[in-house]
Amino acid sequence: MSDLLDTLTEDLKPVKPLRSRPLWLGALVGLIVAALYIWFLYGPRPELVALIGGDWPDRHMPVLKPLMFLALGIGALWGVAGLVKPEGRPKLRYLLPVLIIGGIVFGNLLVEYQREGWDRMADNLSGGVMICYVTILCGGMAGLIVLWRLWLRRSATSHPIALGALSGLATASLMAAAYALHCQGDAPVYLLLVYGVAVAILTGIAALLGGKLLRW
Amino acid sequence: MRSAQAGDAAAYRALLEALRPWLIAYFRRRLMGSTGEDLVQMTLLSLHEKRHTYDPNAPFLPWIAAVARHKLIDYVRKNGRHVHVELNEELGLEDGMQPDLAARDVAVLLAQLPKDQARIIKLHKLDGLSVEEVSAQTGKSASAIKVTVHRGLKKLQALVGIKETGQ
């Protein structure tokens, strides 16, 4: 035991305590980069251009949709910050944005299904599905890699799968918030089966990776 | 631990030496009498590698208990042993924790309460004064003292992540 203590205390280097501020700052920078990428390479949706000119759109979704995914991302980042230390425990409040927003979208989907039936709803899935999947998955994965390199690998969580899942949920949601500046698919079925599934896929991948990479 | 994070080797060695008996008692209680010497060493190694995850402004006991618990679960999983690990563990002197480490945690926790509330809890719970004596010293009614202590303890429980058990 004495040998171990000698080894551990020999040449002891100062360490910087792990703070959550770099996580939030990094997420903000990542979100800005993603939003600029979408805005200048994909182009903004017309309602947002009009909004900059001072015209509030007739429908709220062009504004609400990015904010919705932003709320999901912030909720997940809150969970990441809470779980990154050994004493951190999963709490229901980290998932509240997912439950609330998911519940609202799913409720709207049911109403629409009763009113219009599946065939008419499926028409909303015709355009831009692949680009939406690819953008959210690739952008979210890039964010996840940066998050891992800069912050997550210093973590010591007691819940690696949950931390991985929340990290994936955070980066995918923030990428979805950026992509929503361009995408005009606002129907509940589109939100659930395109955005929702893309975010869920990355969350699942990150949970699996978390189970492997975040063990210590 | 704060000194250790700043690179003070002597303080770090003193901390590790103080933790060893606590870890032995912690694992012995949960491994049915086995000292788990290798587990103690693994925990100290993990503490060393992950010492940056300790928040210098937070109490130390919940952090080290979480590290020990994590290592215990890992060890049990690898060795296929069956032990009982509580979700909300009682932490403290019964596991052999050094009183100065526990006292430092109490000070850190009390500092997060309003001054009046912290003073009343200290007088009643740490200095052992009765409710009437605290009331006489602070000029508050006995019922106000009881309410203040009750609410303060609930806040302290929340700060270390212990859920109320209704006891």
Q: What is the pLDDT of residues A38-61, one digit of tens each?
A: 999 999 999 999 998 888 888 888
Verify whether the Cβ–Cβ distance A8 to B16 is below 8 Å. Answer: yes
* Averaged confidence pLDDT in chain A: 92
φ and ψ at residue B126, rounded to 5 degrees? -95, -45
Q: What does the alpha-carbon distance between residue B49 and residue A180 come to, in Å, rounded to a whole number?
A: 41
Reported for B5-12, long-range contacts at CB under 8 A and 24+ positions apart, including other chains, are B5/A14, B5/A15, B5/A17, B5/B51, B5/B52, B5/B54, B5/B56, B6/A14, B7/A12, B7/A13, B7/A14, B8/A12, B9/A9, B9/A10, B9/A12, B10/A9, B12/A8, B12/A9, B12/A12
In a domain, A26, yes or no: yes
pTM score: 0.80
Confidence of residue B35 (pLDDT cuts 50, 70, 90): low
Note the pLDDT of residue A202: 97
Chain B's closest residue to A18, CA to CA, is: B53
Which segment of A19-23, A42-46, B23-27, B157-161 scores lowest on mean pLDDT?
B157-161
Q: Which positions in chain B touch A18 (Cβ < 8 Å)?
A: 52-53
pLDDT value of residue B158: 76
Does residue A5 lie in a domain region?
Answer: no
pLDDT tens readout for residues A99-147: 999 999 999 999 988 988 888 888 877 778 899 999 999 999 999 999 9
Contacts of B70 in chain A (CB under 8 A): 86, 156, 158, 216
* pLDDT score recorded for residue A212: 93
% of chain A at pLDDT higher than 90: 73
Number of H helices, E strands in chain B: 8, 0
Instruction: Place B165 in a pLDDT band, splitting at 50, 70 and 90.
Output: very low
Task: Give the type of residue at A35.
Answer: A
Does residue B165 or residue A95 have the better pLDDT? A95
Highest mean pLDDT among A58-72, B87-101, B149-163: A58-72
Query: Which of A163, A159, A183 is closest to A171 using CA atoms?
Result: A163
| CB contact burial B124-159 (16+ within 10 A = b; e otherwise) | bbeeebebeebbeebeeeeeebeebbeebbeebeee
**Interface contact B52-A8, CB threshold 8 A:** no
Q: Do A84 and B53 touch (CB under 8 A)?
A: yes
H helical segments located in A54-196: 61-83, 96-122, 129-150, 160-179, 188-190
pLDDT band of B166, cuts 50, 70, 90: very low
Report CB contact under 8 Å: B44, A87.
Answer: no
- What's residue A84's pLDDT? 94
How large is the average pLDDT for residues B23-28? 87
pLDDT at A153: 92
- Cβ contact B4–A8 (<8 Å): no
Q: What is the ipTM score, two decimals?
A: 0.80
- Give chain A's domain count: 1
d(CA A18, CA A150): 11
Task: Kindly report each contact of residues B43-46 with a partner whose C-beta sits within 8 Å and lies 24 or more positions away, as own/partner.
Answer: B43/B67, B43/B68, B43/B71, B44/A4, B44/A5, B44/A8, B44/B16, B44/B19, B44/B20, B45/A4, B45/A8, B46/A156, B46/A216, B46/B70, B46/B71
> In chain B, what percentage of residues exceed pLDDT 90?
15
Residue A3: inside a domain: no
Give CA separation, A20 vs A177, B7, B129, B139, in Å: 22, 22, 40, 42
What pLDDT band is residue B33 in, cutting at 50, 70 and 90?
low
Instruction: Give, to the nearest 10 degrees, the angle between helix A160-179 and helix A129-150.
Output: 130
Q: What is the pLDDT of residue B128?
A: 84
pLDDT per residue over B132-160, tens digit each? 888 888 888 988 898 898 888 888 877 76
Calculate mean pLDDT across residues B89-102. 59
Indicate if the pLDDT at residue A159 is higher than 80: yes
Confidence class of residue A11 from pLDDT cuts 50, 70 and 90? confident
- The count of other CB atoms within 10 Å of the CB of residue A39 is 15
**pLDDT tens figures, B107-122:** 778 888 888 888 898 8
Is A58 a domain residue? yes
* Residue A7 domain flag: no
- Residue A48 is encoded by which pair of tokens? 């947002």
| CB atoms B63 and A86 under 8 Å | yes
pLDDT-derived band at B161, boundaries 50, 70, 90: low
The predicted structure's pLDDT at residue A148: 94
Interface membership of A85 toward B (CB under 8 Å)? yes
Domain that holds residue A185: 19-213
**In the 8-state DSSP scheme, what is residue B59?**
-
In this prediction, residue B2 carries a pLDDT of 83
Residue of B nearest to A155 (CA): B53
- Closest residue to B9, CB basis, from A1, A9, A15: A9
In a domain, A127, yes or no: yes
Q: Is residue A1 part of a domain?
A: no
- Tell me, rounded to whole angstroms, the distance of Cα B49 from its chain centroid: 21
- Tell which residue, A139, A174, A171, A204, has the closest CA to residue A67: A174
Which residues on B lie below 8 Å from A89 (Cβ)? 161
Q: What is the mean pLDDT of residues A88-92?
A: 90
Q: Which amino acid is at B125?
A: K
The reply to whether A157 falls in a domain is: yes
For residue B137, give every residue at least 6 positions away whose Cβ sits within 8 Å of its Cβ, in sequence order, or none: B123, B129
For the ranges B45-54, B78-87, B89-98, the lowest mean pLDDT is seen at B89-98
Tokens of A216: 């210590």
